[in-house]
Structure 1
Amino acid sequence: MLQQQKIIMASVGEVMINKQVILKHFINTAPKESDMVVKTSSLSLKVEPGSNAVVVKNLYLSCDPFMGSRMKKFENPDFNSFIPGSPLEGIGVAKVLDSGHLDFKKGNLVWGTVGWEEYGVVENPENLFKIHHTDVPLSYYTGILGMPGITAWAGFYKVAAPKKGEYVFVSAAAGAVGQLVGQFAKLMGCYVVGSAGSKEKVEILKNKLGFDDAFNYKEEHDLDAALKRCFPEGIDIYFDNVGGKILDAVLLNMRIKGRIVVCGMISQYYLRQPEGVRNLLNIVIKRVRIEGFVVVDYVPQYSKFLEVVLPLIREGKIVYLEDITEGLENAPAALVGLFNGRNIGKQIVLVARE
């Protein structure tokens, strides 16, 4: 349950007892709850004089696969590891409590990169976006109106460059990104099939999200045969969230001049030896274009993205599924659930109500 926190009055102003999710150590396998610990510390709710920082109260936190990768030790300036002994970081929705930055005022609602804690100091407010549209759920800014939404929009419309009537396959189709790609494709007039990891998710894809067909990859002994059953004429666009065996089977079923958009490869992240892809010759034979992308390259187009997606939400033309866990103390379990397929839709942690 969400609990009222104790406020201590101090010479520097209000000091809040602050609950945090701390990384205990670097990992080499998929995240486990034991890799994290929930601790409390104290935090001043006032910005230091002369600072550009922003003090926020976190409302929602987003659980995303990249967070597991950042729990591993990297020496890459483009992909920083979390620091053991410090809070995890991720995308969140928050309320500004105090600000030294001219663009943010007390009471503003924002989304962007925050610590996994109840209250936090954002030293680089350039990573925050002010929320102007509150006629939609605030939680949407961790998903359909946040990074997953931009990812789906950019990957499908900008990278895949779809055409009406094309055949589209989406893996991890019931996840935060996949569910949107499928619906964008349907709005384009495409034929859309998704794969997921349970019968329940398959039914949701077909009955709630409007996919033309879907299958449970865990029940398919021959992925090539499953794809030929769903796409007897082949695949024009594959939106890849999984990699591995599904990607290898897709290569056998691509149409000439098809496009494979590589968004992620969650099946490979924690294997000691990544699976090899054997059917690469099909790239040549079928003139297939494979392109990876990183969402940060498209963040500058956020306003254009909102112009497309907000009307779709308001007019009920798109559905967004959320899986909400309540309480920061339950955040480690929610994050770990991503890696065993427990969640249906976008996994979110409700930290506090506005």
Structure 2
Amino acid sequence: MSDKNMQVLFANRPKGWVQESDFKIVESEIPQPKEGQVLVKNSYLSLDPYMRGRMSAGKSYAAPMEIGDVMVGGTVGVVVESKNEQFKPGDVVLGYFGWQKYGLSNGKGLLKVPADKIPLSAFLGVLGMPGITAWIGLNMIGEPKPGETVVVSAASGAVGSVVGQLAKAKGCRAVGIAGGKAKCDYVVNELGFDACVDYKAGNLDQDLKQAAPNGIDIDFENVGGEILDTVLTQLNAYARIPLCGFVSQYNVTEPYQLRNFGAFLASRVKLQGFIVGEHMNLWPQAQQELTQLYTSGKLKYRESVAEGLENAPKAFIGMLKGENFGKQLVKIADR
């Protein structure tokens, strides 16, 4: 091969907002597979909020990245060379090769996907980790019942958009919280939510009461901060909160202090954080249901796609600021 392996490395541990200078783009030789290994050329890279946490040195559910590491991230690509009998050139695979053009694997954790009728990018979004995150959090922790009200923050994003559609399929009232009229219009008119509150409009408390007049039974939490604080005051008794993320807090130097903490006791709330990678036994069931909804036209999604791996840092920063619409991806190469 005359090609090179472009990589985006973690160059500096940020304090506050991530900067493009926190990354370093390098080129290296394409790795050659040894016995039992496969070489994959990545087509798309998934950009997700959890990556910001891996850039920090604080205690978390996963070890922080070290300076000089290839940035972590999920990928979908094509096997170009194989010395592993389980894979052959041309196989489309989901992997975790990070921010680079080529990846080498012994096959562990590599998943073949049926990409003949489904766009590759969907396996990093609605049918991949974000979609499965939505499915696990809502079903396993939220335990939705027909007639209940489900609120989800970051409702137009990769996870939130799926949560609301799954809630509707379960017979629930789905209420989104998103930033800006365009995103709220999309959530209601295209995704089929019952209502969406624009938190940027400056009237979150009253708008949420109007959108959820019977109170909130499930809060699928992606944002935290003031949005979570407001939701807490409107929870019904025995409400459930699947805690997926705190995207509003990932770049702050002074964390938001909850004022309405007493609601957890007053409403007898079940609050549970979860990590989708710790529930791999549920992935096949989740993926099967999501695929059925997708192929029947009942599961819709939108993508923001940055062209070229060199633009990944800028796209990542934009995603953390809410500039993307739907699932944020980077197109690395054609299939």
After superposition, residues 163-312 of structure 1 pair within 5 angstroms as 163-221=145-203, 223-312=204-293
Displacement of 1:27 after TM fit? 1.6
2:78 partner amino acid: K
Select the residue among 30, 34, 38 that pairs with 1:54.
38
Unmatched tracts of structure 2, length 5 or more: none
Percentage of matched positions with identical amino acids: 41
Change (3 A) 1:71 1:209: same
**Helix, strand or coil: the match of 1:186?**
helix
Change (3 A) 1:282 1:86: closer
What CA RMSD, in Å, does the superposition of the two structures yield over aligned residues?
A: 1.6
Displacement of 1:135 after TM fit? 1.3
Separation in 2, partners of 1:206, 1:163: 21
- TM-score, normalising length: structure 2: 0.95
Relative to structure 2, which stretch is displaced further, 101-110 or 266-275?
101-110
Q: Cα deviations across residues 143-176 of structure 1 (Å, max 9, x unaligned)?
A: 1111101100001111100001111111000111
Relative to structure 2, which stretch is displaced further, 343-352 or 22-31?
22-31
**Helix, strand or coil: the match of 1:141?**
helix
Displacement of 1:230 after TM fit? 1.5
2:30 partner amino acid: L
Q: Does 1:71 align with 2:55?
A: yes
Separation in 1, partners of 2:118, 2:318: 26
Separation in 1, partners of 2:280, 2:5: 31
1:130 aligned residue: 112
Q: Does 1:31 align with 2:18?
A: yes
Is the 8 Å Cα contact of residues 92 and 115 (structure 2) preserved in structure 1?
no
Is the 8 Å Cα contact of residues 141 and 241 (structure 2) preserved in structure 1?
no
Separation in 2, partners of 1:307, 1:63: 23
Displacement of 1:101 after TM fit? 3.1
After superposition, residues 9-20 of structure 1 pair within 5 angstroms as 16-20=3-7
1:316 aligned residue: 297
1:117 partner amino acid: Q
Displacement of 1:74 after TM fit? 4.4
Separation in 2, partners of 1:237, 1:296: 22
Separation in 2, partners of 1:300, 1:128: 15
Dislocated runs of 4+, deviation >6 Å: none
Displacement of 1:349 after TM fit? 0.6
Separation in 2, partners of 1:279, 1:74: 26
Which protein has the bigger strand share? 1
Larger radius of gyration: 1
Separation in 2, partners of 1:94, 1:205: 30
2:244 partner amino acid: C
Separation in 1, partners of 2:98, 2:233: 43
Separation in 1, partners of 2:88, 2:64: 31
Displacement of 1:343 after TM fit? 0.3
